């Protein structure tokens, strides 16, 4: 299986060149973060194979993604929010969990049936989250119904997932696949593993009686709008065909600080995807044997997925409605004059003249 390392087959080219650029960009970070406070925590609703749950989403503040410290993904700025030094103690991580439990107690009338734990890296990487902490977290949430933990495929093993399954939790691992197309993942996202590694991680999950939630990235840098749309449609279908993968979460790219995407955006070389494109992917893959959802972050803003500004909230609402009901007819209820502009982009934008419109 692929291993996260900055060493590549061509020195000074390919991933090696991407990683050098990313390290230079991230060196501009000047903030520090408290290891006893989570990066973020919020309550929401999520669709799962066993129904819709109130969810508690936790983003733990760790020492950061191992791959990101080597350079990392072109669109991901989360490592810039990580604690300096590369590691956080068991005690500090459990303090973060308590902060999240306190937030839930204050904001919700009841305990959330679904717990989602992310680290902006890999929860199953013991350099980020020690085995002791992983076991303690499994026990802490053993009274809930379902849990999702985030990891790159390298770290997904039957034994690690068993710790959660043995608590009686329906367990899923969220894998940042980004795309089913290896060339796009390597050259546009700068992620080192192959689709075959994702398939191996799914097999490990199945062996543990767990499931997989694939995270895809809508419109990484260097793809035109029509290319990005086609890649997402293909990727959803390929994920749906993999045993164990029951959910696909399509994340439209947004412009985060300290990333290559941010540098491209500043120079007029990148536009986040249209919300119409997100809706088209959801609508066209609704018949696949997989739950497909999307939660456009920063929708309607210049740095987030957006249309013309007039219809963004309406389309976002339709997307959220689709997430919960999986009914593609919700998109028949929204329209706007800017659809004509979007259609023009799909017909005429190419890699060599993008973005065609802002």
Query: What confidence category does residue 34 fall into, taking pLDDT thresholds of 50, 70 and 90?
Result: confident
Q: What is the mean pLDDT of residues 338-346?
A: 98
Rg (CA), the chain: 20
Whether the per-residue pLDDT at 11 is higher than 50: the answer is: no
Task: Round to whole Å and give the CA distance between 113 and 190.
Answer: 35
Task: Round to whole Å and give the CA distance between 82 and 61.
Answer: 6
Q: Do 58 and 38 form a contact (C-beta atoms < 8 A)?
A: yes
Q: What is the mean pLDDT of residues 195-219?
A: 98
Mean pLDDT of the chain: 91
Domains annotated on the chain, with CATH: 14-353 (3.20.20.70)
Whether the per-residue pLDDT at 70 is higher than 80: the answer is: no
| Identity of the highest mean pLDDT range in 3-12, 61-70, 300-309 | 300-309
Q: What pLDDT is stored for residue 236 in this prediction?
A: 98
Q: How many CA atoms lie within 13 A of 106 on its CB side?
A: 8
Backbone angles phi, psi at 201, to 5 degrees: -65, -40
Q: What pLDDT is stored for residue 166 in this prediction?
A: 97
DSSP state of 50: T
85-134 pLDDT tens trace: 667 999 999 999 999 999 999 999 999 999 999 997 899 999 999 999 99
288-333 pLDDT tens trace: 999 999 999 899 899 999 999 999 999 999 999 999 999 999 999 9
Query: What confidence category does residue 9 fall into, taking pLDDT thresholds of 50, 70 and 90?
Result: very low
Q: What pLDDT is stored for residue 86 in this prediction?
A: 63
pTM assigned to the model = 0.89
Q: What is the mean pLDDT of residues 137-158?
A: 97
Q: Do 233 and 196 form a contact (C-beta atoms < 8 A)?
A: no
| 243 burial via Cβ count (<10 Å: 0-12, 13-18, 19+) | exposed
Q: Do 6 and 23 form a contact (C-beta atoms < 8 A)?
A: no
Query: What confidence category does residue 21 fall into, taking pLDDT thresholds of 50, 70 and 90?
Result: low
Cα–Cα distance list, 238 to 188, 212, 231 (Å): 19, 14, 10
């Amino acid at each position: 299986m692929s291993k996260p390392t900055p060493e590549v087959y061509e020195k000074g080219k390919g991933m090696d060149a991407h990683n050098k650029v990313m390290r230079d960009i991230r060196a501009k970070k000047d903030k520090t973060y408290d290891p006893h406070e989570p990066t973020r925590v919020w309550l929401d609703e999520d669709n799962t194979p066993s129904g819709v749950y109130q969810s508690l989403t936790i983003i733990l503040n760790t020492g950061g993604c191992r791959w990101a410290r080597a350079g990392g993904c072109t669109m991901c700025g989360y490592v810039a929010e990580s604690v300096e030094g590369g590691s956080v103690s068991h005690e500090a991580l459990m303090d973060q969990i308590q902060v999240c439990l306190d937030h839930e107690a204050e904001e919700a009338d009841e305990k959330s049936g679904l717990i989602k734990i992310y680290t902006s890296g890999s929860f199953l990487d013991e350099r980020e989250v020690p085995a002791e902490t992983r076991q303690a977290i499994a026990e802490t949430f053993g009274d809930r119904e379902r849990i999702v933990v985030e990891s790159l495929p390298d770290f997904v093993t039957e034994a690690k997932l068993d710790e959660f399954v043995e608590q009686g939790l329906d367990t899923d691992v969220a894998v940042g696949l980004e795309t089913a197309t290896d060339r796009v993942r390597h050259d546009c996202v700068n992620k080192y593993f192959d689709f075959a590694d994702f398939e191996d991680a799914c097999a490990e999950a199945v062996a543990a009686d767990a499931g997989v939630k694939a995270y895809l990235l809508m419109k990484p840098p260097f793809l035109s709008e029509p290319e990005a749309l086609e890649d997402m449609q293909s990727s959803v279908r390929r994920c749906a065909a993999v045993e164990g993968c029951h959910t696909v979460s399509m994340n439209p790219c947004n412009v985060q600080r300290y990333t290559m995407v941010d540098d491209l955006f500043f120079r007029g070389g990148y536009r986040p995807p249209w919300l119409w494109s997100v809706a088209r992917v959801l609508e066209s893959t609704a018949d696949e044997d997989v739950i497909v959802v999307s939660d456009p972050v920063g929708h309607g803003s210049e740095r987030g997925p957006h249309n013309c500004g007039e219809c963004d909230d309406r389309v976002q609402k339709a997307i959220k409605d689709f997430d919960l009901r999986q009914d593609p007819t919700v998109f028949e209820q929204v329209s706007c004059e800017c659809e004509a502009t979007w259609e023009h982009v799909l017909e005429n934008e190419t890699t060599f003249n993008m973005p065609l419109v802002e």
